[in-house]
Amino acid sequence: MSCPFAERVDWQRLGEESAAAEAFRDELRPHLRVCGSCRDRAVLADASMFFAAMPAVEVSASERSEMQQRIAGARRLLAGAPPAPLRRRLVPRLSAGRVAAVLVPALALAGLWGGSLVREPEDPSSRPALVEETATASALHASHLAQHLEGMPLVDRSEDDAPEIVYQVEGATFDLVLLVHAGLDLGGP
């Protein structure tokens, strides 16, 4: 069945080389993507119109995420930093006393909420093993953690697999990453 649009078009204009012919092609192009009969007419008038209906290239979410990660890795290399995740590069240095002050209420929260609030960085060889989950501190109150976190600069917030907030704890002598489960809502916006 012929398209009504086809009857109104002067197909010969496709063969012309002029600004008006270019504008005509621009106008025609979207229609040719959806109308086979007009496409046949167009190709008859100008064989190069054969390519007017090319498929759109699809990019999946996983391809995009993979590219974002690769680019982030390249960006870190350019900056001269080791290709490690952001939160591991921002690991603060803590004094033993400060660690205890933070860990005890944090572990208490772990007990209260039944989740892991404090975890070691992924590479344990980089500093002494610090953290071990324990239920003994579970009697301590959540507000202790809030007090200790108050004033600490927040360095990162992850929304990936497990939502976490990373706080920077100042004045330390060994590496620690303090990951607080974002579900605790310690006052986020």
Partner 1 sequence: MSPLPRLAYSRTLHREQIGQLDDRELLLRLQDSDEVALDELVRRKMAPLVQVAYRILGDREEARDVVQIAFVRIWEHRRRYHPRYSANTWIYRIATNLAIDHLRSRRSRERVAEPLRLHLERRQDASGSRALSELGEREVAGIFDQLAAGLTERQRAIFVMRELEGMSSAEVAEIVGCRESTVRNHLFNARRVLRVALRERYPEYAPAGHETTEAVP
Task: State the residues that interact with partner 1 by CB under 8 A.
Answer: 11-12, 15, 17, 22, 25-26, 29-30, 36, 40, 43-48, 50-59, 63-64, 67-68, 70-72, 74-75, 78, 141-143, 146-147, 149-151, 153-159, 165, 185-189
Phi, psi of 131 (to 5 degrees): -110, 135
CB of 68 closer than 8 Å to CB of 146:
no
Closer residue to partner 1, CB minimum distance, 6 or 174: 6
Q: How far apart are CA 32 and CA 52, in angstroms?
A: 7
8 A C-beta contact, residue 21 and residue 44: no
Kindly give the interhelix angle for 142-149 and 96-113, rounded to the nearest 10 degrees.
140
| Shortest separation between residue 38's beta carbon and partner 1, angstroms | 13
Using the minimum distance from each CB to partner 1, give the nearer residue, 56 or 129.
Answer: 56
Nearer to partner 1, 53 or 95 (CB): 53
* In the complex, minimum distance from the CB of residue 131 to partner 1, in angstroms, rounded to a whole number: 22
Q: How far is the CB of 68 from partner 1 (least distance, A)?
A: 5
Residue 183 beta carbon to partner 1: minimum distance, rounded to whole angstroms: 13
